[in-house]
Amino acid sequence: MAEEKPSLPTLTERIKEYLKAVKPPEEEVELTWKEKVGLGLFSKVSDFFVLMWEGVWISFREALNDTFLRSLSVFCKILFGKSLPEISAYTYETVRVSDLSQDAKENVYLFLGKASTLDFLLILLFTTFARIGTVTSLMAASLEVAKQKSLSVVQPSLPDLGSVLMARFRDPKFETTITDYMQRMGLNEEARNMLKVVSYMLLNPDDVKQLYLRGEITKDEKDKKLSQIGMYPEDITALEKLYYFIPGAGDLVRMAVREAFSPEYISRYQLHGDFPPEFAKWSAKQGMSEFWAKAFWAAHWELPSPMQGFEMLHRRKISVDDLKMLLRALDVMPFWREKLIDISYYPYTRVDVRRMYKAGVLTAQDVYDNYRDLGYDDNKAKKLTDFTVKDAMESERDLTKTDVLAAYDRRTIDRTQAKNFILELRYSGDEAEIFLSKVDYDSAKKVKDKKLAWIKTNYVANNITLEDARDRLAKLNLKGAEVNELFLDWDIEKEGRLAELTFKQLQQLLIKKIISEPEFIKKLKQKKYSDEDIRYLVELTKKGVVEGG
C-alpha cells in the first residue's frame, strides 16, 4: 500500500500562525477610547492585507499553472522522456526504495508535499541544469589545457601597444622587432610613424615655464612646446601672464608697514641701500620683477627696538616723527604709539618733586600727578602730596627762623624784635628764649675764641711775656684751672717750635740790609701782622725808628 503524503497548511494559515506567534501577550490594561479606535482600525487594515496577499499569491500560482504547465510538460517529455505525473511518481518511488532512513524519507515527502507541481518542476530543472553545468565545466577545463598547449607551440600573442612603444626607448635594438609587431597589429607605416611620434614624453607646463623664465628657451620655443602639449594659442598667452610672481598677503602687509611702496620713505630711510644686482638677476629667473625684488629688499631690514628708538629720541638723534615711523614699522598699533612715546620720558624723582615744590616750580596738583607717574596709586599719591606740602611749610618756617636769628646775631634787630618774630612763626616763648640765648652764647664764644687765639699765638711766638698773657686771660673771666691747662698746652707747643727772630732783630737786619724788604715783610706775615700794620712798620723801620731804640 502506497504511503500517503502528509497534509500541509495553506499560506493563509501559515501567516496567521506567524502573526499569532510574534504577537506579544496581551496585558489586562484599561484602554482609552482613542486606543480602542486605533487598535480596531489596525486590525481591519491588517486583515485586509492578509486577504489581499493570499489572493494575489493564489492568483499568481493559478496563472503560472494555467500558462506554463503545459509548455513545461512538453519540455519535460522531450528532455526526460516522461510526463510530469510520471516524473513525480518516479521520484516518490525512488525515495521509497532507497536506503534512506524513515526520518529522512519523511523529510523528503514533507518537502515534496510543500512544493506545487510548478515548484517541483523548477527544482527538477535546476538540478538538471546544475549537472549539465558541472559537465560543461569539466569540458572547459580540458579545452583550456588544450588551448594552452596550442599557444605554447604557435605563440601568436603580441605585447600591448604601449609596452611595444616604450621598448624603443629602453633599448634601440628592438626597433626592427617593434616595427614587425606593429605590422602584425595591422598598423600601416603612417600609423606606425604617428604612434612613434606621440610616444615621446613632453615637458609639463611648469617645466616649460621654468625654462622660459631662466632664459633657456625663447618665447617662440615656449609657445611651441605648450602647443605640442595641446594648449590653444589664446590659453598660452593667458598662461604666460601667470608666470610672473606676486607676493602673498603676509609679504604685502610687511612691505606696506615697512614703507616699501613709498618713494619718499625709500629715499629718506635708504630702503634700497646696498641692493645687490645679483639679487635682481636671480629673482627674475623665478618670475619676480625688479619692482618686487626691491620691495622685498626694502622690507628685509632689521629695525632698532622700541627702547633704542626712545633712547635716540631722548638724545635728540631722531625726531618724534622718526620714532613714530619706527613704531609703525615694528607693527605697533596707531592707538599705542603716542602713549608709548609719552611714557618713555622719566618722571621727576621724589627728591626733585619736594625741592621743586619748595621752590614754587610745581603746584600741589603737579606733585600728585608726578607721584602717579612714578607708579603710586591714588591713595598713596595723595598722602605723599600732603607730606610734601607739609614738609615744605616746615622747611620754610625753619628758614625764616634762621634769617631772624642771623639778623639778631648781626645786631640788625634787637632781642625784643627777634623774639617777637620767632613767636609769629608759631614757636613758644621758651623756644624763642633758647634760640636767642644760643645766639648770644655763640657770639660771645666767637669773641672769646678770637682773643684766646691771639694770646696763644703771641705767647708761643714770644711776642708777649707770661705775665702779659696771664693778665689778658684774667680779663676773659677764665677760671684758674682753665688758665693753667691753657699754659700747659701752650708751653709744650712753645718748646717744640724753633727759635724765631724778634721784631727788633728783624728791624736791625733790614736797616743793615742783611735782609731785603720783601723778606722783612714775609717774616712779619709769619708773625700774624696784618697787611696794614706791616706797611706802617716798614715805614718806621726805614726812618730808623727801632723798637726799644
Distance, in Å, from the CA atom of 371 to the CA atom of 378, rounded to the nearest integer, reads 9
Three cell numbers, residue 95: 525515495
Which of 66-70, 86-90, 228-232 has the least mean pLDDT?
Answer: 66-70
Helix (H, G, I), strand (E, B) or coil at 436: helix
Inside any domain, residue 343: yes
pLDDT higher than threshold 80 for residue 229: yes
> Which residues are within 8 A (CB) of 96 and not within 5 positions of it... i.e. 6 or more apart?
3, 105
Task: Please indicate, yes or no, if residue 488 is contained in any of the structural domains.
Answer: no
Same domain, 283 and 372: yes
pLDDT interval class at 240 (50, 70, 90): confident
Nearest to 219 by CA among 239, 246, 193, 202: 239
- Local structure of residue 217 (DSSP, 8 states): S
- Is 527 among the domain residues? no
The number of folded domains in the chain is 3
* 255 domain residue, yes or no: yes
**Model-level pTM?**
0.39
- Which tens digit of pLDDT belongs to each residue from 390-428? 877 766 555 577 878 888 888 888 888 888 877 877 778
> Same domain, yes or no, for 279 and 327?
yes
DSSP code for 528:
T
* Residue where a domain stops, chosen among 140, 171, 188: 140
Please answer whether residues 48 and 56 qualify as being in contact, where contact means their C-beta atoms are separated by less than 8 angstroms: no
Let me know whether 275 and 376 are in one domain: yes
By C-alpha distance, which of 529, 504, 507 is closest to 520?
507
Whether residue 255 is found in the same domain as residue 375: yes
What is the C-alpha separation between 31 and 12, in angstroms, rounded?
30
> 145: Cβ–Cβ under 8 A, 6 or more apart, which residues?
none
Q: How confident is the model at residue 314 (pLDDT cuts 50, 70, 90)?
A: very high
What the block records as the C-alpha cell of 119 is 515548484
Say whether both 191 and 124 belong to one domain. Answer: no
534 part of a folded domain = no
Q: Which structural domain, as residue segments, surrounds residue 197?
A: 158-201
Q: Same domain for 50 and 168?
A: no
Q: What is the pLDDT of residues 71-120, one digit of tens each?
A: 556 555 655 566 666 666 766 677 676 676 777 667 666 666 655 555 55
| Alpha-carbon separation of residue 104 from 107, 273, 514 (angstroms) | 5, 106, 176
Residue 522 counted as domain residue: no
Place of cell 618722571: 347
Same domain, 293 and 349: yes
Domain end position, chosen among 387, 414, 433: 387
Identify which of 246, 202, 241 has the alpha carbon closest to the alpha carbon of residue 224.
202
Q: Is residue 65 part of a domain?
A: yes
Q: Cα–Cα distance between 508 and 546 in angstroms, integer?
A: 8
Any domain includes 240: no
State percent of the chain over pLDDT 90: 11
